[in-house]
Chain A
């Protein structure tokens, strides 16, 4: 549905995005993840035909963004960073205006309006001036605008900014409900959001794509070994050595506080059962035992911090694994 090939955007000498390539299948939700200034908004502006790329091609629903912008615009619902609302209009007037710009008329317009208002629960404010609405409501009006003409492609720039936690969950549910029928790109720097609603994540930093995969696989790919955290009530002095001597254990690091250890074992070997028995049978007193999985947050920080090292590597994700070890140590100590 969306196909981006090697797009580059330069502002004078500043390169905002550099040879970005990715694609989104029909019905897929893709998260665009990156720190502020990474090039997320620039990429979205190119896809929505607001600005042309310096190099490369972007196609939406089979139409080229540069040569057939009208066809592309007709098929996109776009929510920019700031909800594009007119304060002097009421919600209904605003959405009517948006619908007319997109060529909706008569009965089609009325039903599109009602559907959109219902979907974003704007019924109670539909006759109020947008100027008098809270930030959260304005954001929802912005989303209603993007969904109004039921476009096959949705581009949402930080759709949950400014919403309260309940509204965030509602919006995420809404985005999830679009899976299958709509192709969605949403940009965010809130990681749980990407994990919650997206099938695929593209991590962008400094204008380049540094990783692209499902959230689960991204963290799995960056994990070199299984890590188990144990807390022991009365550890003997040689506890660390004796744990390390256990079959299957690769390494043991002391954790925070006495009796806290981080046991590392080979990928795919779950040693929790053996560890528990080992400690209990010696009467050390097992207080806690849990696996430590890498969250998307860790992945994200690794990838975006070690950007320089990555650019020389053909396989970005593989290059980071070596950088992973010290960070876990830091975190544990």
Chain B
């Protein structure tokens, strides 16, 4: 087992011993299931209305009415839940004075950051995998196009990874877990809200730059079923930047 794998194993163990994963996981899965149920019921009601109006079978598009709404709603859920998953990663080490131990171990800071990030990413992807039950069950009773669902999942995975890296960065800044969670929320919320600012500025250079910086339009395209290299670059570079900043913050903590 390499040192990075050791860090991942230790973090996973920490997550499953503490109640965090169980609480956050249940809430996440409950909300996902609940939203899916609401959208399906709503779609059903619309279908009945349409049938009464037109007579015969109505063409109902589950992709548009269920999955797009579901994935769009999950943005906000992820924004609230993921900083709670990441808040302990570095803050706890600093609080319990194990930070010094990690940094005096023969393991690079990049390995520590990578290990911690991958452990929480694995947990998130696991939770995401469990939500796969919803489309699977729907598939048994209806007909829909899997491709936009899969790109939606890709969008959720990329957006989640980006949020987790922001949360990891926030956790490296402080030894207080609550502060880490709030810095995470605040940063993510800001990047949500600047999409409104971008819309306000309209089709100017500044407006386009601000809109590009927000994750909204990139995520929306994936949810609609479009895979654009520009969006993948956005998520990839954002992730890389946040992990790099985390690395620098951890490194600079030694100098203080």
Contact = CB atoms under 8 A, between A and B. Distances in A.
B101 A80 contact: yes
A84 B98 contact: yes
Majority DSSP secondary structure for residues of A touching B: loop
Interface string A168-187: 00000000000000000000
A86 B255 contact: no
B101 A84 contact: yes
Given A48-B104, A51-B255, A52-B255, A86 B10 contact: yes
A103 to B, nearest CB: 7
Contacts of B241: none
B180 to A, nearest CB: 18
B121 to A, nearest CB: 20
A101 B104 contact: no
Size category of the binding interface on chain B? 20 to 34
Contacts, number: 71
Contacts of B104: 48-50, 73, 76, 78, 80
Contacts of B107: 101
A93 B13 CA distance: 10
B105 A102 contact: yes
Contacts of A103: 3, 106
A105 B1 contact: yes
A89 interface: yes
B47 to A, nearest CB: 50
B14 A50 contact: no
Given A49-B104, A84-B97, A100-B3, 18 more contacts: A45-B100, A50-B104, A51-B254, A51-B255, A52-B254, A70-B106, A74-B106, A78-B104, A80-B97, A88-B13, A88-B14, A89-B13, A89-B17, A98-B105, A100-B5, A100-B6, A101-B3, A101-B102
Interface of B: 1-3, 5-7, 9-10, 13-14, 17-18, 96-98, 100-108, 254-256
20 contacts: A45-B100, A50-B100, A52-B255, A73-B105, A74-B106, A76-B104, A80-B97, A82-B96, A84-B98, A84-B101, A84-B102, A86-B14, A86-B96, A87-B96, A88-B18, A100-B3, A101-B106, A103-B106, A105-B1, A145-B101
